[in-house]
Amino acid sequence: MDFNSQMLLLSTLFLCFLSLQVQADTSTLQTYLIQLHPQGLTSSPFYSKRQWHLSFLEQTLSAEEDSSSRLLYSYSNAMEGFAAQLSETELEYLKKLPDVVAVRADRKYEIQTTYSPKFLGLSLGTQGVWFNSSMGEGAIVGVLDTGVWPESPSFSDSRMPPIPQKWRGACQEGQDFNSSNCNKKLIGAKFFIKGHHVASSQPSDVDQEYVSPRDSHGHGTHTSSTAAGASVAEASVFGNGAGVAQGMAPRAHIAVYKVCWFSGCYSSDIVAAMDAAIRDGVDILSLSLGGFPLPFFDDSIAIGSFRAMQHGISVNCAAGNNGPIQSSVANVAPWITTIGASTLDRRFPAIVRLRNGEFIYGESMYPGNKFKHATKELEVVYLTGGQMGGELCLKGSLPREQVEGKIVLCDRGVNGRSEKGQIVKESGGAAMILANTEINLEEDLVDVHVLPATLIGFAEANRLKAYMNTTSNPKARIQFGGTVIGRSRAPSVAQFSSRGPSLTNPSTLKPDVIAPGVNIIAAWPQNLGPTGLPEDSRRSNFTVMSGTSMACPHVSGIAALIHSAHPKWTAAAIKSAIMTTAEVTDHYGKPILDGSKPAGVFAMGAGHINPTKAIDPGLVYDIKPYEYVIHLCALGYTHSEIFIITHMNVSCHKVLQMNKGFSLNYPSMSVVFKHKTTSKAISRRLTNVGSPNSIYSVEVTAPKGVQVRVKPRRLVFKYVNQSLNYKVWFMSEKGKEGRKVSSSEGHLTWVHSENGKYKVRSPMVVTWKN
């Protein structure tokens, strides 16, 4: 056989092999979601998104194959990209094409949000909270934060009701933002920069972000969509946490007030925004910002929110992220609902498998199971002993020759979690294990890292370090497990959630409630990667964040649902409904945990929010605005201090003379025994918002070391909106008065006679200070 004949035979055999290979591939095709860069440079030659999407398949498939037969969907709202059927070989090729941001396999999921509404019992149907509240229709939620990314699908006004006639707000134009960016969902947007502008030490700070309501950070986009974002199908973060993303009140309207900038949120801007929000006609105010505890007269948020409350506006604020330090809770004014953070039963496992066969549990939202190098076994290094901060993975602390191609162990602290990953990546590291320290303990906060990475708890970190110290060549791999739901106890109190008792007002138990605030997926701007790092070129319509900042808008959205169902209720009645129906047990029926121990009232307040019960609480503890003034007098605030807070000119001497034995009608009870006092009495007033002819009996679990007596023990409500009073006596047992500071807790519950149809629960805490 001559040379030409040999080549012809080889070519024929090769083509036959190729044909067989294509047939084999088509028999094993899988559906993949291909996410593209929304401002992709390769899109410009195409007249439509569909044509652009098809071009990726045309480059990947053989010339004989019809690319349109493989294309299932073309996306442009929930994400930028498309779904297509591909073989593994084709997938590997397509992943390397320009403008391909992420690839993830199609998965089967039940219809669920990502994920907190379902966790809280919110679902579609002909009954339940969303049905009874029309999903928040007619309510307006004002969000003070970093602004909004209006193009996010979470702010689509498809199927939204008309803008309420009472609305007096506007869509303020500015840099890359005009009036057309508002719609029936995002009905208002304003920015407040003057305080920031004059206080900023570096004028160039202003140049780094949009001087408009447009969000440069992502935080405001995330929180506002959590409160009242529209339903977005097929939402996920690169395939993780996939489901239907939606806010707590999907048919409520959103008004955004941008008050936070790169250098912070200034009180002059915050008060100006609250002033505008009251004038504009919002029903709910959501402030995922704050600091350390302040006296009310020195606290701009407390002052502004008092005026808001007078106008019937419910004000919800984050408790702060300074936990588990005692008395770190902020935003503690009694007319504010103060929200701590809790966990969900959703996990993103990313297990470290050591060479010796041991497993170390971690979590991550890096989509590592789509990348082969993420699971490759590599040497693990931990740079300690130097002066550069190598153990913390600070910038400039990781010599390339020591970390290149290796898994780098980094302790948490000083710089951000995602920033550590970026530094490892820039230094040549192949992957990162982020280790909790004694401060963070077993806290599981996930990030969408820029390289294969996982976060491990403090105990697991000690195990890993022990392995590395006793092994000459420690090696490991990270195995990513996607999204797992329902296999862990939840809710529990987040480690970082600020704790009570309140430094400035111990007579009011704070925080009020806890709500989901760990690993919350919500909307994200398209000018930022999901880590928020400037180096992160990936783009996603959603990302994950943790903090009481994320917990706060959950309660703001639920307040919107209650307001929609009961438009005449006061802010105090809405707060009472949320507090007295809160849960103190997790989804397994066991006590909510704070770490490894049952959570106390200073960690979770009245408990974990339950919207299903909150919309129909039976009874409420209502408070008239003037009663807060009497309360301030009772706390010892001076005439001038009370005027600063309330704009009311009062004589506390006369006020207290006319209201002897006054107790603020708060849904929780906090009693402080000072200077060897051994007994105290408080009064409360309950208003029937359930059914007429209702009978309630009291059940008490007394705090240890205290005898509790309630009179009357039975309340008979003949009609709706009737109010009845009761009194509670607390008597300290002997021996307690000698201690410096100690506390004990219990609870008081009014139970409806009709098989416990309603249970109106108030936590009680008694503190001895000597």
Give the separation between CA 633 and CA 651, rounded to whole angstroms: 9
Give the separation between CA 698 and CA 761, rounded to whole angstroms: 10
Rounded to 5°, the CA angle 545-596-609 comes to 50
Q: Which residue has the tokens 């066969």?
A: 357
Give the separation between CA 717 and CA 394, rounded to whole angstroms: 64
Is residue 761 within 8 A of residue 767, CB to CB? The reply is no
Is residue 231 helix, strand or coil? coil
Give the CA distances from residue 99 to residues 40, 45, 52, 309, 630, in Å, rounded to whole numbers and listed in that order.
Answer: 5, 14, 11, 49, 63
Q: Which residues have a catalytic role annotated?
A: 145, 219, 549
- Token code pair at residue 658: 């006319």
Q: Which residues pair with 480 in a beta bridge?
A: 350
Which of 442, 429, 543 is closest to 493 using CA atoms?
Answer: 442
Number of residues assigned to the chain: 770
Is residue 29 within 8 A of residue 87, CB to CB? The reply is yes
Give the separation between CA 741 and CA 133, rounded to whole angstroms: 45
Q: Which residue has the tokens 């105010």?
A: 285
Is residue 630 within 8 A of residue 661, CB to CB? The reply is no
Give the separation between CA 653 and CA 650, rounded to whole angstroms: 9
If you write DSSP's letter for every residue of 649-703 in order, what string do you get?
A: ---HHHHHHHTTT-----SSEEEEEETT--EEEEEEEEEE-S-SSEEEEEEEEPP
Which of 511, 76, 87 is closest to 329 using CA atoms?
Answer: 511
Non-local (6+) Cβ contacts of 498 within 8 A are: 319, 320, 321, 322, 323, 325, 328, 329, 330, 340, 511, 548
Torsion angles phi and psi, residue 388, rounded to 5:
-95, -10
Which of 102, 93, 4 is closest to 56 using CA atoms?
Answer: 93
